[in-house]
Amino acid sequence: MTVPRRAAPAGPGKPGSGGEGAFPDGAFGSDVRYEDDDEYFYNDRYGVWELRPDWMHPDCVDPRAALDHGTCCKYPVDALVRRALELTEAADQTLGAFDRGEGDCAATARELARLLEPVPGLAAEIQAAIPGGDRTAAAQLLCPVGRLILLGLELAGRPGCPWGCADHGTPDRREELAPLIATLEECDAALWDVILPRPRRRRGA
């Protein structure tokens, strides 16, 4: 079965949507296809396929967060977001290629080290730009910063390749990740303070 572009059958949809432009996954069987995949995204919060907003990139990695903030980092609003995104994408692609068997351990470790070296400086630059900064930029930065945190945790949790593989003479560098993750988590918290500022306390309260 083919669902025509911008002519999705009516379905329950998400609460408040009235079912327009949204339909539950599997509602029409497993043979459903979309003529233009880029026109739709899967909203895992409600378990429905929905028409993708123009501001959401077809390759958005976290549509739920993008919907929450009304912006997508893959359409960066400034150079700082673009740099953070490019670095994150390169690191993810390097580790992904290794996991697919497309790179050797030592070369992957060297490339990841090269990519992660500027991260503390980037995090400091982000935090310096945050006071009085643009909330849209802060929301976009949450994505690459969060992905870098996950990347650090992923590498720290691996017992060997590619970050500490004794079999290939690569030193165990997992201890280096703890301060990096802490720096990124501080950056993440600062971004959230911009997006969801805490109410000021009254004097004497």
Instruction: Indicate the residue type of 149.
Output: I
Stretch 161-183: mean pLDDT:
80
Note whether 195 and 135 are within 8 A (CB).
Answer: yes
Angle, alpha carbons 164-189-80 (nearest 5°): 80
Residue found by looking up tokens 């068997």 in the block: 101
Length of the chain: 205
pLDDT digits (tens, 9 = 90+) for 50-95: 999 999 999 999 999 999 999 999 999 999 999 999 999 999 999 9
Note whether 140 and 71 are within 8 A (CB).
Answer: yes
Q: Could you count the other beta carbons within 10 Å of the beta carbon of residue 34?
A: 14
Beta bridge partners of 43: 48
pLDDT digits (tens, 9 = 90+) for 184-203: 999 999 999 999 876 655 55
Minimum mean pLDDT among 21-35, 82-96, 166-180: which range? 21-35
Q: Is 12 helix (H, G, I), strand (E, B) or coil?
A: coil
Structure tokens at 100: 């697919």
Q: What is the pLDDT of residue 64?
A: 92
Q: What is the pLDDT of residue 174?
A: 81
Stretch 37-49: mean pLDDT:
86
End-to-end CA distance of the chain: 63
**Torsion of Cα atoms, 22 then 89 then 179 then 110, to 10°:** 150
The pTM for the full model equals: 0.77
The CA distance from 74 to 96, in Å, is 19
